[in-house]
Amino acid sequence: MRSIFIVLACVCLLGLTGCGNRPGERALSGGAIGAAGGAGIAAIAGGPVLGAALLGGAAGALTGIVTTPRR
């Protein structure tokens, strides 16, 4: 079960690499990817899906903003 969580987390993190060029685009797509990943992992692990989706979305949006590529 732990290995499934690790694989899913890595897939979610890899998805953040191609989110867009502007900070707003990256925040939006990163938030969506994070929310989907958090909900999916919580559903598999048997945890609270809504809370995990909110946390994943917030983490994804923040990561999308922080990792904006240089011009």
Sign of the alpha-carbon dihedral angle for 46, 48, 51, 57 = positive
71 domain residue, yes or no: no
Q: Is the pLDDT of residue 63 over 70?
A: yes
Q: Residue 20 falls within a domain, yes or no?
A: yes
8 lies in a domain? yes
What's the domain range around 31? 2-66
| pLDDT surpasses 80 at 42 | yes
Number of domains in the chain: 1
Mean pLDDT, rounded, for 6-35: 74
pLDDT value of position 52: 86
